[in-house]
Structure 1
């Protein structure tokens, strides 16, 4: 394997987008420690992970005031987006959570009065989950702030760049089996 350690070199150090960041330093360290490997993927995937960590941390801090975890908010969000109550398996299919996680999270949300369990009118054996008014309030209060934080993170990109980035990330996600 050939050694390639850098993406294109920064062109304008005055431009924040061209200044080196933590991921550049990590990528450079890997290249120095393992010169026989092409470490460019570290730069790309490392930035994706860094962005996820930063935005997740911000979301976690914002959710603290509601006493809700990010995973619990994912469940609340799935129920808020749905036009009718959902089975737990439907919550799994619209979040990135496992079935066991959704079961555990929904039990905690029911105990705290944010989600209600009900029976399906068509089949009484089927348990449905839906937001309570308190659960809806959490989503209604938190969603605008989350969207504003996401918008701030993307503010440096044009509409065309956002579309391009979304398409490229979708392509990577599909290559991973999504």
Structure 2
């Protein structure tokens, strides 16, 4: 496949001059995944920022909306790949804005549950379609076939690094 060299190709070439004994093939995948993620995030963040949210808050609200009911902060950590401290801070900020509410678990008073408020659900339901439209527009340079192949390959990569 012929393609235009990119910054990752240039980085590999530069590293080969500095460390010719180091195999930099991993940069082909990792470097591109990380760079693509950074570029995509920068372009998509403006869509959600219009509603006063950052990416981490948006991801947390999406996780709550998809869950369909109260969940533990620990489960939110897993769903958003966040630390407990970061999730706690975000939940407090979102609660202060009336987007989420916490309650004590009736069966285990030491455990909390978090859910969207009605306002939080309205906010995320308003933002989500616009966020998906923005994502779709960023993928227009790829054919449907390329998108499906890339999605499959990225799923395999995630499985390899996260496990089953």
- TM-score normalised according to structure 2 size: 0.85
Please name the residue that 1:167 is paired with.
152
> Gapped runs of 5+ residues in structure 2?
none
Q: 1:74 aligns with which of 54, 59, 64?
A: 59
Secondary structure of the structure 1 residue equivalent to 2:80? coil
Instruction: Check if 1:136 corresponds to 2:121.
Output: yes
- Structure 1 segments (4+ residues) deviating >6 Å: none
Does the 8 Å contact 2:95/2:101 carry over to 1?
yes
Please name the residue that 1:94 is paired with.
79
The higher-RCO structure (CA 8 Å, 6+ apart) is: 2
Instruction: Check if 1:114 corresponds to 2:99.
Output: yes
Distance 2:126 2:28 in 1: 35
Moved more, 36-45 or 115-124: 115-124
- C-alpha RMSD of the superposition: 2.1
The number of residues matched between the two structures is 163
Where do 1:12-161 residues align within 5 Å? 18-161=3-146
Specify the structure having the higher radius of gyration (Cα).
1
Distance 1:146 1:116 in 2: 24
Distance 1:36 1:58 in 2: 37
Distance 2:60 2:119 in 1: 14
Distance 1:21 1:53 in 2: 15
- TM-score normalised according to structure 1 size: 0.79
Residue-by-residue CA offset, 1:39-63 (whole Å, 9 max, x unaligned): 2221221111111001111232222
Moved more, 86-95 or 45-54: 86-95
Cα shift at 1:81 = 0.7
Secondary structure of the structure 2 residue equivalent to 1:129? strand
Residue-by-residue CA offset, 1:16-72 (whole Å, 9 max, x unaligned): xx2222222222222232222222221221111111001111232222222222111
Distance 1:65 1:149 in 2: 13
